[in-house]
Structure 1
Amino acid sequence: MQDLTMMQDVDEAEKQSLSRVYGQVCLIVLIGLMMSAMLFAVVLQQNTRAMEADFRHDVSVQVLSLRHKTQVLKQFWDDVQSFYIASDYVREDEFLDFSKMVLNHESIEFVSWIPAHAVLPTESDIYLMTRKGKDASNFKKMLLANDRVHRLVSETSKNVGMSATIVSVAIEDDDLRDRIMIAVPTYAKNDGERKLVGFLLTMVDINNFFESVFQGDLYGSVAVYLIGGSGGAQLLFYQLDDPSKMPLVVDTIGEIESEVEAVHTIPFASQSLAIVAKPSFGYLQAGWAPWTSFGLGLVITSFVAFWFHQQISRNEEIQRTVEIKTRALAYSEQRVRSIVDHALDAIITFDEDNKILEWNQQAEKIFGWTAQEAIGKDAADIALAPQYRHIHARGMRLFLKTGQSKILNRRIETRGIRRDGSIFPMESAVTEQKIGDAYYFTAFIRDITDRREAERTKEHLAAIVLSSDDAIISKDLNGIITSWNKGAEQLYGYTEKEALGRSITMLIPVDRLKEETEILEAIAEGRTIDHFETIRVHKDGTHMDISATISPLRDARGQVVGASKVARDITLRKKVEERLKEYTRDLKRSNKELDDFVYIVSHDLKEPLRGLYSYAQFLQEDYEDKLDEEGQEKLNTIKRLSSRMEELIDTLLYYSRIGRSDLAFKPTDLNKTLQKTVELVEPFAKENKATIQVHEKLPIITCDRVRAGEIFRNLIVNAIKYNDSEDKYVEVGCTTDHKECPGCNVFYVSDNGIGIPEKHQEAVFKMFKRLHGREAYGGGTGSGLAFVKKILDRHGGKIWIDSKEGEGTTFYFTLEEV
């Protein structure tokens, strides 16, 4: 139970330890993740800033390229203006030749010249040259029909500088889309002054113009606004997944700068272009540094967590091991204490000074001192008999001086003393333990009083067996002889050496071998066979009668392992019994003959007695007047003696009849029998002023009811007759605890009469035996008690007297064979 409790405690400790380890590791992992996330955020922020700086630099480079394109266009426009100023008149073919160079630019749709004096110019007034052989007439029509172009020309003439605007046109198969229309005024010298002669119109394809500059994954969004004029800032170009996020028109550049990452402004004609660029998310997220730092943080966190887990686990394992060892040690101490306390031997621990340190419960039982009383006392003083204390002290001194001892670590027998001073034999073994520089001793002591008694008993029994005249033999369950005493040698003639190891059947006649099988079966079942009479064979071959008692032999576990046999030669007894049987038969025959003789004689004697009595009566009647007084007296004597003789003969006949007649045995309620008997003698009791008391309820037994009534009647009448007390009483009852027959139904009839002297207590049961005169105490033949004994003999019972002369008599009797 303690081991189970310890394992449950250890399991609970392991669960708590694992919970602590997991909690600490999870905390470390959480801190590591937070630090990794913070490192990732810091590196990402630094990386983003660096990428933003790179983005602004890249945008600046692209803007420089765009600025170069606008400068090329401006150079063309300046050249055209110079060409016109230098010429009085420019023909169409001259213009067209001059413009071929600018049409090499992919973004230029066409270049045209419109004269300034024409109020309503016609197609013939317009010089126009397209790129890639497109139809010039379509462009001329557009110029003539587009209001924005007209407004642009008007504004250019007023501002005296280049102007630009956005027009939406569809030329030939192209879809309707926005284009930039740039108007440059041309002048000619007239009398030394410049004179506006026309306008150079250039149409630029917005997509071609800007896409070649703002390409790649650099940009998340790019927008180009045309700034100047009355329209504020107009969107020329955008590169965005969702165009709605970029305003088409803004009032000031400040509105744009507040929502973008980079803004650049470059001159364009008399206006300017605002380039608004925002980096793509992928561009800003490009770079492995943040993720590397995050991954490195996770790796470091994992390593630290693993290392810390190992350290914590190791520490927890050490703590758990220490805790388990501590609990195991505590349980071990409890177990050892329990073992010591419940040991069957007294266990006493004492130091070099003989001072007792430990005193277990068995020591308390053996010596009578409690542990509280014994601890601190001298072990020899309270445990050793006085005659052994000096031997113990000398042995201790020798061991402490030389390290040698003849009694340590050995079992020795000595004598101890109890608290009450009684001396007893004991067996002890003392061991030593050295702790530091000091020795401690533990004595294991056993009270061997019972063992000594058992040994003495065993020796005594062994002596009895060895010296017994009876044959005492033991055998196993196979009938093989295992022991053979001197009595067996004398009875059977075999020596011990000759008998041991042989089968018991060597002693059994061939015609009785079946008996051994039955005996072994009974022994195997654990049954004892008492007084088994049979015939066995002597070594010389003679047969003899024996009486044997065979009992099972059991081992320490109670298993039957063999049998012991005690046999006695009863050959002589058998012969005596046969002789007795013969004598008994002869006696019975003689008694029967005697009874028959008594009956016959008694019967035959009655007839002459009656005749004698009758003739005496006749003589007395017929010769009364002739006989004198002496004659009359003699005739009366003859009559009295004849009556007496007839009474004795009747008694003999009755006594003989008791022995001859069959008894009617059946269960009889003696309470009813006694009640009828008391009713019969009640008049006699009242006449003699006697009281009859029945104290105990009588049992129901098997007997002859009539004869049982005669027993009670004879004993009660005698108790009343032979009583001279003034208050006569008779007590009748039954007891089962009489010392003469314990457990038997012993009946008794007790009185307070004259008593019977001890010397006459046997004689009173003889026929015609009276202790008093013939007429004393009512007279009688003296045969009543003889009748009682005869009836009891026929029932197998017995009768005895407890009486003191002058104090009364108690007759005890049994009606059943005991």
Structure 2
Amino acid sequence: MSATQPGSDAIPALAEVKARVARYAALGLLAWSLLLGGSLAWNIAKQHEITLELATNTALANFNKDVAYRLWASGHGGVYVEPTEKTPPSPWMAHLPDRDLIADDGRRLTLMNPAYMLREMMQDHGELYGIKGRIVGIIYLNPNNKADPWEAEGIRQFAEGRKTELMEVSDIDGAPFLRLFKPFRMEPSCQKCHGHLGFQDGEVRGGIGVSVPLAPYLASEAGAVRTMSTTHGVLWVLGTLAIGAIARRSHSRLVANTRMTLALRDSEQHYRAIIETSSDGFWMTDRQGRLMEVNNAYAARSGYSREQLLSMIISDLDAVQTEESIRANIETVVKGEARRFETRHRARDGGEWDVEISTSYFPAGGGRLFVFLRDISERKQAERVLAESERRFREMAETIDQVFYIADMDYRRFHYVSPAFRRLWGRDPEELVADPSLWPAWIHPEDRDQVMNFVASRIGSGEYESDFRVVRPDGTVAWLHAKSFEVANPSSGSPYTLGFHTDITQAKAIEEALRDKNQALERSNADLEAYAYVASHDLREPLRNITSFSTLLARRLEGRLDGDEREFVKIITDAANRMDCLVRDLLEVSRVGRGTQAMHPVSLSDLAAGTRDSLRSQMEAASATIEIAAPLPQVMGSDDELYRVLLNLFGNALKYHGAQPVRITVDCRADGPEMWRITVADNGIGLELGRGYEERIFGLFQRLHQRDEYGGGTGIGLPVCRKIIERHGGRIWAESDGPGKGTRIVFTLPRLPD
């Protein structure tokens, strides 16, 4: 399996690598985000501190300015100014006798203390710098100088010594301000205006507050925060991209490493699977022939354990090679020449076994030899058996009377011809092997074309045979029976021909003599049948005269003959009638097969049914039933003759029966691939066993009973049936289980071709 195409077992590992990289990337992104988020928060906090510090510094500067202004004003006992509508005389200083004065030039003047001056300056000119300042107290002259709750709490803390300064950010008129508030202590210069309130010098009598507007500072801070946010955002994006790039590179490297690891593992597993599941043995040795690895197959075959084998060298196991030849083989393999050879190895039990060795060399690790060892004991045994078989085959082929040969299918090359060829064909086998084109010329001229055409038409059919004549060099003619078998070559797969030639010259001579005798016998039988036909036909004429005149004589002498004379005339008449029946039956036998009706398909079912219908009266007399298995097959034959067979068989069953009602059955079944077997069975008197009656009843004029028993008869019916059945290519016989157990007449007929 390649590293680029992981198998199903690699998918979970690759998914784990991906998940691990994703986790690390997520953790890195989280850490980076927290770092930048923390940095941004810290910088924003620091910027806010700077903003507050700047505002505080401003507030302190203004506070100190106000304090300095107050000290200057109070140090001079206040300031006299011309009263105006905006600056009227302070009603809160009316207790001062010198509140109002008239200058030398006649102008009217009124006293402004520091609080009055600071309040009016803030009212008239505070918009110039936006900073608000005022002096307040819990006890006050002017209600406008009343401390708010925050200021009042601060004054109490100042008075108690818990605080020396208060600062807060709050909204004033909807705008954020930084408020700075410090204690205002009673000083001698303050006694002029406020001494009547009861405060002692150094006592906290109020506070001085400064409120710095934060809007400009917060706007500056917001701009700085935006810059910092943008900078941190850009850094976060760049860091995220860097983390993603690092994650992708890490994923690629880890995937490559994982795939390589899986490939190495799979390769090792495949290597192990191949080595351990192989039926062949395997070694890995060093250049000195020490076994470094063996598989189970070799351990099992040798009988040694793996541990024992790993402590051995090649010469401990090789039963044929010397240490020198083993070293020579190793050096040959080390030079890059693959080696394949056969040897024998020793097993632990002392036995030896044949081994085929294939060796290759790999220079890694100081040099390793990979050795595959195949057990070829069975092959070697088969080779020995084959050699012995070939030896026996040659002995057989060279001693049998038949010619045996091996040739190509087209007979253009003969691989082997047995020595019997010299005796049957009269020529040397080497001559045929040297020139396979000669053999057609050695065939008898009258058979040559027929044989060549036959062979050409049957090549490739698998098996064929024929008879032909050959002409030997001395001019003698021999009849040969040739039989050929086409078989596949197990090594190449291409077919070749095995053939036998048998000398049938003597058999052909005997066959010719038998054919001549059979022809003579057929002529004799034909003459005999013709004689029987003529004789039986001509004999009936005098018999009819004897019967007619004996009957006429009895009629004319009626009343004049005594009892013996009438008996004599009856004997003459009965004997003539019997003689006529015998001649008529003999004539019937001779007529079988002499008809001109051609063979044609005949339905046995129809014939059996017609025969049964023609015997209705006899069946009623015998209380008989005839059961016909349906359907009976069609056969090739003469319907008249087959009708006579069934009529004779049914008639005999109706004739030879006992007291019980007659039951006749007809059935049919296959008798091999080419014949039908028809059985006509009855429940009649049966046949005695062991006396040959089964064959005797088919003899001409043979009866097993007295002449007048069972309705008489001449014994001609079954011989006629046998002659008809045999003429149709079948045979007929009788079967019985004994007297009183019925009889089965069985006959066979050829099947119709498909």
Compute the TM-score of the two structures, normalised by the length of structure 2. Answer: 0.53
Please show how residues 364-383 of structure 1 align to structure 2 within 5 Å: none
Indicate the residue corresponding to 1:330 in structure 2: 269
Indicate the residue corresponding to 1:793 in structure 2: 726
Higher CA-based Rg: 1
- Measured after TM superposition, the shift of residue 706 of structure 1 is 1.7
The answer to whether residue 699 in structure 2 is matched with residue 766 in structure 1 is yes
From 728, 750, 758, give the equivalent of 2:681: 750
Tell me, yes or no, if the aligned pair for 2:14 and 2:255 is still in contact at 8 Å. Answer: no
From 395, 401, 426, give the equivalent of 1:469: 401
- Measured after TM superposition, the shift of residue 314 of structure 1 is 9.9
Letter in 2 for 1:663: Q
Change (3 A) 1:615 1:449: farther
CA distance in 2, matches of 1:6, 1:660: 91
Indicate the residue corresponding to 2:112 in structure 1: none
CA distance in 1, matches of 2:452, 2:3: 53
Letter in 1 for 2:264: K
From 595, 607, 630, give the equivalent of 1:673: 607
* SS state at 1:689 partner: coil
* SS state at 1:724 partner: coil
Change (3 A) 1:517 1:654: closer
- Measured after TM superposition, the shift of residue 742 of structure 1 is 5.4
Change (3 A) 1:678 1:491: same
Please show how residues 105-504 of structure 1 align to structure 2 within 5 Å: 321-336=260-275, 340=278, 403-406=316-319, 410=343, 429=355, 444=375, 465-476=397-408, 477-503=410-436
- Measured after TM superposition, the shift of residue 473 of structure 1 is 1.5
Indicate the residue corresponding to 1:663 in structure 2: 597
Please show how residues 352-751 of structure 1 align to structure 2 within 5 Å: 403-406=316-319, 410=343, 429=355, 444=375, 465-476=397-408, 477-503=410-436, 505-506=438-439, 508-509=442-443, 511=445, 514=449, 518=453, 521-522=456-457, 526-556=460-490, 559-724=493-658, 726-736=660-670, 738=671, 741=672, 744-751=675-682
CA distance in 2, matches of 1:503, 1:432: 43
Change (3 A) 1:4 1:633: farther
Tell me, yes or no, if the aligned pair for 2:417 and 2:433 is still in contact at 8 Å. Answer: yes
Tell me, yes or no, if the aligned pair for 1:509 and 1:535 is still in contact at 8 Å. Answer: yes
CA distance in 2, matches of 1:635, 1:812: 44
1:142-192 deviation digits (Å, cap 9, x = unpaired): xxxxxxxxxxxxxxxxxxxxxxxxxxxxxxxxxxxxxxxxxxxxxxxxxxx
CA distance in 2, matches of 1:413, 1:771: 85
CA distance in 1, matches of 2:3, 2:540: 104
* SS state at 2:619 partner: helix
- Measured after TM superposition, the shift of residue 745 of structure 1 is 1.0
Letter in 1 for 2:682: D
* SS state at 1:723 partner: coil
- Measured after TM superposition, the shift of residue 478 of structure 1 is 4.5
Please show how residues 17-56 of structure 1 align to structure 2 within 5 Å: none
1:193-237 deviation digits (Å, cap 9, x = unpaired): xxxxxxxxxxxxxxxxxxxxxxxxxxxxxxxxxxxxxxxxxxxxx
1:549-607 deviation digits (Å, cap 9, x = unpaired): 22223223785443222222222232233333322332222222222221221121111
Letter in 2 for 1:755: L
- Measured after TM superposition, the shift of residue 15 of structure 1 is 13
Indicate the residue corresponding to 2:711 in structure 1: 778
- Measured after TM superposition, the shift of residue 413 of structure 1 is 13
- Measured after TM superposition, the shift of residue 784 of structure 1 is 0.3
Gaps of 5+ in 2: 33-247, 285-293, 322-341, 360-370
1:602-622 deviation digits (Å, cap 9, x = unpaired): 121111111111221122122
* SS state at 1:586 partner: helix
Letter in 2 for 1:809: T
- Measured after TM superposition, the shift of residue 683 of structure 1 is 2.5
CA distance in 2, matches of 1:713, 1:412: 85
* SS state at 1:548 partner: strand
Tell me, yes or no, if the aligned pair for 2:319 and 2:344 is still in contact at 8 Å. Answer: no
CA distance in 1, matches of 2:525, 2:657: 36
Tell me, yes or no, if the aligned pair for 1:797 and 1:817 is still in contact at 8 Å. Answer: no
Q: Which moved more, 1:313-322 or 1:492-501?
A: 313-322
Tell me, yes or no, if the aligned pair for 1:720 and 1:728 is still in contact at 8 Å. Answer: yes
Change (3 A) 1:590 1:428: same
Q: Which moved more, 1:450-459 or 1:718-727?
A: 450-459
* SS state at 1:762 partner: helix
Tell me, yes or no, if the aligned pair for 2:415 and 2:433 is still in contact at 8 Å. Answer: yes
- Measured after TM superposition, the shift of residue 637 of structure 1 is 0.5
Change (3 A) 1:745 1:460: farther
* SS state at 1:327 partner: helix
* SS state at 1:698 partner: coil
- Measured after TM superposition, the shift of residue 699 of structure 1 is 0.7
- Measured after TM superposition, the shift of residue 492 of structure 1 is 2.1
Compute the TM-score of the two structures, normalised by the length of structure 1. Answer: 0.49
Change (3 A) 1:327 1:347: closer
CA distance in 1, matches of 2:529, 2:7: 96
CA distance in 1, matches of 2:507, 2:559: 75
CA distance in 1, matches of 2:594, 2:451: 46
* SS state at 2:585 partner: helix
* SS state at 2:510 partner: helix
Letter in 1 for 2:564: E
CA distance in 1, matches of 2:384, 2:649: 54
Letter in 2 for 1:761: E
Letter in 2 for 1:815: L
Indicate the residue corresponding to 2:54 in structure 1: none
Q: Which moved more, 1:666-675 or 1:625-634?
A: 625-634
- Measured after TM superposition, the shift of residue 347 of structure 1 is 10
1:438-457 deviation digits (Å, cap 9, x = unpaired): xx998858878996999698
CA distance in 1, matches of 2:509, 2:461: 30
Letter in 2 for 1:745: W
Q: How many residue pairs were aligned?
A: 486
CA distance in 1, matches of 2:659, 2:515: 49
- Measured after TM superposition, the shift of residue 519 of structure 1 is 5.6
1:388-411 deviation digits (Å, cap 9, x = unpaired): x9xx9xx99x98998255289846
Q: Which moved more, 1:504-513 or 1:5-14?
A: 5-14
1:24-46 deviation digits (Å, cap 9, x = unpaired): 9xx9xxx9xxxxxxxxxxxxxxx
